[in-house]
Structure 1
Amino acid sequence: MSTKEKNNKAHDESVNQLSQTPSFLSKIDEENPIKKERLFTVDELQSYTKDELYLAILGHVFNVTSAPKFYSSTGSYKFFTGRDASRGFHTGGTSAEDLTDDLTGLTDEDIAGVYGWLTFYQKQYPQIGKLIGRYFDTNGTPTKHFSNVLISVNNMKKKNEEKARFEQQWPPCNSEWSHDAGKRVWCTEKSGGIERTWIGVPRRYFDSSTKTERCVCVQNSDEQNGRFKQYKDCLPTSTECKILE
């Protein structure tokens, strides 16, 4: 064999060695395969109600096999297994109207509550895929319905932030009721769970967003604010009022 042929052979062997995956890397790949998210059809999901237990909420599929006490055929949450019964997480019912993924008619607060269940499952159980249908298309892309869920969640986040700001300025009163004494409201430096350096006086406040009235603690500087009203037969400067129905 000529010198040129020997050099070409050595070069080919080197290239061949470089192209081969080292054995230790192959072992790592086998032990840690790349997990691709699975897309389930409704029929496929329905088959996971026996040995393996799957459920979906807002189109996200979870493996709940580790909790047969809840999700097996004798479990307390068996109605949720093998389907997306997102509405049922709000209603708590087990009728056909409840065990559906349709959230039509629910408020932003209701939908945010269902989304809270989704975050719970994401922390508690392995998320193994998406359900093709209302919330994800055949490519696993979120649909308009899921976007609307996120809008409701964001709306509630803003409302809660506004509520927190309101309560920092005008904290809720403490309250109690008894058959003999009736209802009593009062203010302290920690009433409503809001710690502060002032106490305030109880005042009636009508929340136009919820159409309900509640008691808030108001500082003297806010007395002239038209949104607050005094309680009947209660001294304006008293930190405690009995509510006469």
Structure 2
Amino acid sequence: MTNINFNGTKVVTGLNTRLSYVHLLEPAAPLGGGKEKYSASVIIPKSDTKTIEQIEAAIQNAINSHLEKFGGKMPNMNAIKTPLRDGDTERDDEAYRDSYFLNAKLKEVCLKAFNKIIEPNKAFRAKLQNNIRHAISQLNEEQATKLDRELDRLQILLINQTPYSKDYDKITGEFNKVQQQRDELQLTLDRQNEVVQKNVNLQNFIDTNSKQLNEFDEHLVRQLIKKITIQETYCEVEFQNGDSIKINL
């Protein structure tokens, strides 16, 4: 491993990094058959020595911070399987030639993400409850009721006017203006209610699952997870409500 001054576990890859065999929206079985999985391969050309060195250092840093898993001692790096794989020796595929690659098994990532928020996680639960309180506080139902009453008042005035009366056009203009305000407010209320519902959905999921999940549920993924960002040593799982957690690969 090349010694470089890099202390983190997050690496921004070079411009020539590619994703291959991407199955993020729909699961797919591997070549040769097998169980369908959400997955992707991150392919880094061997010529991108800066990225490769940083990934190797990130792996080393991750091991250093979890030495208890190796009996408190630095393991033999040649004897353990790391996320960084050699495309020339492990893949008979032109896409992997002269490259290293990392695999992300997103089905496992999703399960780990769900289980991470099910387990005692006071900080995440407190943030979720705060999200719900804040979203509800932003709802301006009182203003909506006020505008509805004004629309009713103007509509009654219009009914009592003829199209040729001197105040008809003025009242019509006021009615259209208030109606536009009400429509714009409704769009805002709809967005705010959606925010509330996304947080409530996640809260309900946590409340109804006291035990760790063992089976992948595609419906839950579509309902609760917005996107998964693949990094070199971890995946960042963003839930529909905007909160996110990191899952080590």
TM-score (norm 1): 0.22
Q: Which structure features the higher share of helix residues? A: 2
TM-score (norm 2): 0.22
- Structure of higher CA gyration radius: 1
